[in-house]
Structure 1
Amino acid sequence: MTQSGIFRGTRLTALSAAVIAAVLTLSACSTEMTAGDTEQTAAATEASSLLPAGEGTTEYPLTLETPFGETVLEERPERVAVVSAVGVDTESLLALNAVPVFAVAKYDGEDPWLPEDLWEQVEFTEQGVAGEEISAESIAASEPDLIVNLQAYETFDQNRFDQLSSIAPVLYADAEETSWQDVLNSLGKTLDLETAAAEKIAEFDARIEDIKADNPEFAGKTISMVNVYGRETGASYETMPGTDTAAIVESLGFTLPENAYKFPEEEYGEISDEMVGLIDADVVLVGILGDTGAYFTDQPLFQQIPAVAEGRTVITEGDEAQDFTWGLTRAGILGKLWALDTFEDLATQALS
């Protein structure tokens, strides 16, 4: 089961802040600005055809640090290529009302939370597969002045960095060390849209607080979320400690059952037959993402789980499962905001 980049905490910690600081290091500049400097700064804040106007807080040149070397943005970029197939990078850029010149069209922009008017402006798209790198030639053809890979796979190495940095400066972070908030903040800093990024995160936090206040019955209840893929891929436990999803449900008042700590992190939460019974909790939400999940939900091991036998399990299928489950567990800010309402309804249904 290949599911890169899902073991990340949601709240920004000191470590998360350090990640952003390491990625973005401002070049030293003089405190005295000439008229020419002022004109250059003003030009950098102007809107382009793909990006909104800058806020005037990020100073360029901006050095982008990675474990593989540094690249420098001499001025505010206008043509941003997003090269991760995970989708969080692209979604985060769109959330800032910015349009990538190149994006991986893994889902063809069909996710219901993506703003169609912005997605339709993407000039270059290429089909991508999670865990695989995108053709450098295709990226170069879009003539980017910034390449974004803030959800980088383990396959990203020195050779890949050298390849991409020969095209344009590279904004990089390891997927397993980067939360969706980190992605937004890094993009905001790099594109001179820090306030816009902070406002999006604040919008999410406010929605969390609203749902928590409206549903005091969530407090202290345990919860498990499970994704069921095709038979060959199997099922995965989505609320493992340290994941974005676990942090979201905890922020809503839920707690993780003790068994959540028993799923092996190195297997990305894969649920083997002997572990099916461990998904029991006060609330169990199951999303069927394959053509059929009957092989999993019809088996006696699943049917014998107390939460299933007692009606505290809600199973979603088809588009509903795809949109809700993917939105909450895999998407960025837009998908998570979109999925929160459905989560509230399903959790309430399970508890009633």
Structure 2
Amino acid sequence: MNLTRRRGVTGLIGTALAAALALTGCSSTASPQRTSTSGDGAGLLPAAEGRTSYPLTLESPFGRTVLKKRPERIAAVVPNAIDTELLLSLGVKPVLSSSLVSEGGYLDEHGADDIETYEFAMGEEVPVEAIAASHPDLIVAVGWTDGLGGVKLADHYDRLATIAPVVTSPDVSSQLLLPWQDSIRVLGEALDLADAAKGVVDDNERYFAAVRGKHPEFEGLTATWAIYYGAANGLQYLSRPDSAPETFLGELGFAKNPNAREFKRDATVSDELLSKTDADVLLLGRSAAASETEMRELTGRSLFKNLGAVSSGRFVQLPPKTDDGGDLLWAITSGGPIGNKWAAEHLVPLVADAL
């Protein structure tokens, strides 16, 4: 497992996470260096709120560990780095993160550019040695669903628990992403930041309520969020039932698309299923794995042009990166509070123009 300062890694998330990690990961057993703020942990967490009592038993689907006192050094180990985003939203700086924290480009201003990282490859073992070398007194694995990144946390929980107490989400059985609101509440209790966690959730609700109030034209319309990954991985329907993109579209005011049921088990859009991507609004992203030529070929096909959203002009095509270098595709499909707000700021004007 290769440890490095946070660097850009091309990746996919949601249903196409496996393909991304297979393309971007690398392997080594190198150990991380301490971050500049490590020391005794000073500066890594906000002040305690005094609501959580320690020792605190951390229950998980795999067992339990006991957090004897408030932690200072936190290793965030979820492959897609959603746990790191949640920690940063609480003002907490982990001492270790998956390198995919770099993917969206929108977390730098929150301190993500100075976190020690490990590179994760699809199906690789959890980097136990790297985690131990970061000297954590809490390992955070909230947001790790069953088999995320080709790895089952259950297979590694016991080894991680020998290093430090481990906090997970209560239910990891989902094949899609867990609601970040549930995960951040778990973190808030473990870190004695329950009020801060509630504040992040409340702020998110206020923000999107304001978006809906400003754009009532979104209400009740259906929307599809799809990404084209080029010839290798094809077109993927990512606003599947109970997914992060579906939740994001709902926060903007859109209704659930009945067609999404067709992709509950498999997100791949075949020619036979292309008509099922139709909606009142079609949002189509192009990943870095797809060339502009491939995208033109896809959107130039008569099957595509005949979609109602396309023929009516309610079609928004998104590039791999925004003008400021961010990644809307990653932000929406990873489903965190910082990325969702950032994505809305860029996407809402485009959707409003299309309507």
1:266 equivalent in structure 2: 265
Aligned residue for 2:265, secondary structure, equals helix
2:104 equivalent in structure 1: 111
Answer yes or no: is the 8 Å Cα contact 2:15–2:238 preserved in 1: no
CA shift, 1:224, in A, is 1.1
CA shift, 1:262, in A, is 1.9
Question: Matches of 1:83 and 1:345 in 2, distance apart?
Answer: 35
1:170 to 159, 166, 186: 166
- Number of aligned pairs? 308
Q: Are residues 1:79 and 2:77 paired?
A: no
CA shift, 1:294, in A, is 3.5
Q: Are residues 1:244 and 2:244 paired?
A: yes
Unaligned runs of 5+ in 1: 7-45
Aligned residue for 1:318, secondary structure, equals coil
CA shift, 1:296, in A, is 2.9
Answer yes or no: is the 8 Å Cα contact 1:87–1:332 preserved in 2: no
CA shift, 1:120, in A, is 3.9
Change (3 A) 1:76 1:172: same
1:287 equivalent in structure 2: 285
1:152-188 deviation per Cα after TM superposition (whole angstroms, max 9, x unaligned): 2423254411111111111123272721111211111
Answer yes or no: is the 8 Å Cα contact 1:5–1:175 preserved in 2: no
Change (3 A) 1:295 1:141: farther
Aligned residue for 2:231, secondary structure, equals coil
Question: Matches of 1:2 and 1:214 in 2, distance apart?
Answer: 31
Larger radius of gyration: 1
2:136 to 128, 134, 144: 144
2:58 equivalent in structure 1: 64
1:308 equivalent in structure 2: 310
1:224-264 deviation per Cα after TM superposition (whole angstroms, max 9, x unaligned): 1111113211222122222232233223332133222222x
Question: Matches of 1:158 and 1:285 in 2, distance apart?
Answer: 36
Q: Which amino acid in the other structure matches residue 191 of structure 1?
A: L
**Percent identity at matched positions?**
35
Of the structure 1 ranges 171-180 and 86-95, higher mean CA displacement relative to structure 2 is found in 171-180
Unaligned runs of 5+ in 2: 1-10, 17-39
CA shift, 1:68, in A, is 1.8
Change (3 A) 1:211 1:157: closer
Answer yes or no: is the 8 Å Cα contact 1:2–1:131 preserved in 2: no
Q: Which amino acid in the other structure matches residue 190 of structure 1?
A: A
Change (3 A) 1:257 1:210: same
Q: Which amino acid in the other structure matches residue 165 of structure 1?
A: A
Q: Which amino acid in the other structure matches residue 99 of structure 2?
A: A
TM-score (norm 1): 0.81
TM-score (norm 2): 0.80
